[in-house]
Structure 1
Amino acid sequence: MVSQWSTARLGDMTGKRIIVTGATNGVGLATATALARAGAQVILAVRNLELGARRAAAMVGDTFVVKLDLADLASVRAFPALFDGDVDILINNAGVVARHRDETVDGFEMTLGTNFLGPFALTNLLFERVRCKIINVGSDTHKRSSIAFDDPHLRSRTWSAFPAYARSKLAVMLWGLELDRRLRAARSPVSTYLTHPGWVASNLANSSGGRLMSGFHSVVTSVANVIGNDIDAGAAPTLYCITEPIPPGSYVGIDGRLGFRGGPTLSGRSAAACDYHDARVLWEFAERETDTALRV
């Protein structure tokens, strides 16, 4: 059965303020566009300000472009001072698939640093200004991964692109698990959610820029255009977390076969992504690496 959810469920979001990271391409662009069209003020947190300005100019609604490079903690730390006031929702959408093993300026394995450690630090630094929700974009690829806590940056283990991506998304899933636990324990008014956009051809390819393997990109794009979601459908699980009365901590995925194409629905996660011990260990690791802490 095809989900009947649509962006009409957003209603009138006038007066709401929302940050979307990675908003220049793919799912992030579709998410930001839908929210701006619904009346929200959308802060596009992007690496490329020129492209961000072009994307914002093409949107209908109230938008504001702010520099953010999640692979650079200096940029992450500078971000909160680049705009005033609180936000209702923080959407950690940005993600990359690295072409080869590389490190961020802070010495993190590039995929883990960009997809997990950067957003982790950003969320901690912004948390006191978030009024309502934190939505972290995970992936069903987490179901085929594990984390080597003795070598989290894969300095001695074999590295390859999509296994590194999958483990970064498992890290996001475990972070979301522990974040939800801490918010509930503190009786915080802020709730958090995890999402999976399905297989969207243009999303990671575009957001990874030159880091994505061009030959592999063409193959992935050809296949995903046939069996995957378009960017609007890929944004739907994130938007579903805003509109629907679902439990805090929920994981929203795709109702289609194998999670490739379909509408948003509550989804299941792997046993590894439900391990509270590993979630706590990962959280403590991320605190040390980023020198940030959540103040609930």
Structure 2
Amino acid sequence: MQRPGWTADRLPRLDGTRVVVTGASNGVGLETARALAGAGAHVLLAVRDPALGRRRAAEIGGSCEVVELDLADLASVRACAEAITDPIDVLVNNAGVYPLRREDTADGFELALGTNVLGPYALTALLLPRITDRVVNVASNSHKAATIDRADPHLRRRWSGPRAYAGSKLALLAWTLDLDRRLRESGSPVRALAAEPGWAASNISNKPGLGAVHRIAQRVALTIGNDLPTAARSTLFAVAEPMPGGAYVGFDGVGTFRGRVALIGRSAEASDPRVGAWFTAFAARETGVTVAPPRPG
């Protein structure tokens, strides 16, 4: 039997805390939003489908509002950031995509890179002046199988779904460390952390034409991985517990698929400050948005 360790029941009261959760209409994002609202936080569900978001907000209860966000479209990212006018304590960059074929976003980015890291990078940079506590990026240990092709980051010459997804998660982790470094160097109290949900029975494989594959993935995940409330624990821990910047929270079981919430390691490339600095400069060029960490006071 699994020992549960830290669970959402141990969340502190979060009354007065404002949290933005991207991709909060399904999967780990929905469970994260549900638990945060249950602990008293005001949760902004940043979702592609506002109508679905409003239904989810009604299901969750508590203090929730909905803002439209499509991370594959920088115009939508900018509109979302402009719509969030009040200070927020925590930004959870949860939304992500696993591409089935090579596609470009509205701005010409490879779909996984654009949705999983360039969109979150731009949203974070635009919201950073209003963030007071931390940024939590939802990552994946698939990054350990990846490298970043600096000559072809959008994989226009050699693309596969696993390569695109794992590469985007490697870029996300490298950028998380670089963002935290910049925040510390600026004297900002804001921290950047990452969380790995393990092998989650999520909605990421629920795509047209993949009904059978999605059902198999769900069964496998529930057998050797996490159900959704369990998968959300690592993100919730990263959001609510006293954590140092740069921490990577996941699970302590074999392959980090499941287990108890714990600090976990990342690949050498994800830990290399030169990779993080390169990606930050690349993301700024691609998106036209520059990270400017707020200074204290």
Whole-Å Cα distance in 1 between the matches of residues 136 and 58 of structure 2? 25
SS in 1 for 2:202: helix
What is the 5 A alignment of 1:75-90? 75-90=76-91
> 1:220 maps to what in 2?
217
Following TM superposition, by how much is the alpha carbon of 1:12 offset from its aligned partner in structure 2, in angstroms? 1.6
Aligned to 1:73: 74
Deviation at 1:193, TM superposition (A): 0.5
Q: 2:257 aligns with which of 246, 260, 280?
A: 260
Q: Is the contact between residue 5 and residue 261 of structure 2 (CA under 8 Å) also seen in structure 1?
A: no
1-side partners of 2:14 and 2:243: how far apart? 19
Cα displacement string for residues 166-205 of structure 1 (whole angstroms, at most 9, x for unaligned residues) = 1110010011010111111111110110110000122423
Alignment partner of 2:204: what SS? helix
* Percent sequence identity over aligned pairs: 50
Letter in 1 for 2:213: F
Quote the residue 2:130 is aligned against.
129
Shifted more, 233-242 versus 18-27: the winner is 233-242
Residue 233 of structure 1 corresponds to: 230
Report the TM-score when normalising by structure 1. Answer: 0.95
- Measure, in 2, the Cα distance between the counterparts of 1:138 and 1:83: 24
Secondary structure class of the residue paired with 2:205? helix
Structure 1 consecutive aligned stretches of length 4 or more whose deviation exceeds 4 Å: none
Listed one character per residue, the Cα deviations across residues 47-102 of structure 1 (whole Å, up to 9, x for unaligned) are 01111111110012100011000000000011122233110000000000011000
The unaligned stretches of length 5 or more in structure 1 are none
Maintained 8 Å contact 1:236/1:263: no
Give the equivalent residue in structure 2 for 1:191: 191
Aligned equivalents of 1:115, 1:69: Cα separation in 2: 11
The normalised TM-score by structure 2 is 0.95
2:56 match: 55
- Residue 285 (structure 2) aligns with: 288
Note the C-alpha offset of 1:215. Answer: 4.2
Match of 1:50, as an amino acid?
Answer: A
Q: CA contact under 8 A between 2:141 and 2:196: conserved in structure 1?
A: yes
Matched residue, 1:251: 248
Matched, 1:117 2:114: no
Q: Which runs of no fewer than 5 residues in structure 2 stay unpaired?
A: none
Preserved contact between residue 205 and residue 213 of structure 2 (Cα < 8 Å): no
Q: Does 1:204 align with 2:204?
A: yes
- Secondary structure (helix, strand or coil) at the match of 1:238 reads helix
Q: Could you tell me how far apart the structure 2 residues matched to 1:76 and 1:32 are?
A: 20
2:19 counterpart residue number:
18
- Give aligned pairs, total: 292
Query: What is the rounded CA distance, in whole Å, between the counterparts of 2:243 and 2:12 in structure 1?
Result: 17
- CA, structure 1 residues 294+113, in 2 after alignment: closer, same or farther (shift >3 Å)? same
The two structures, once aligned, show a CA RMSD in angstroms of 1.4
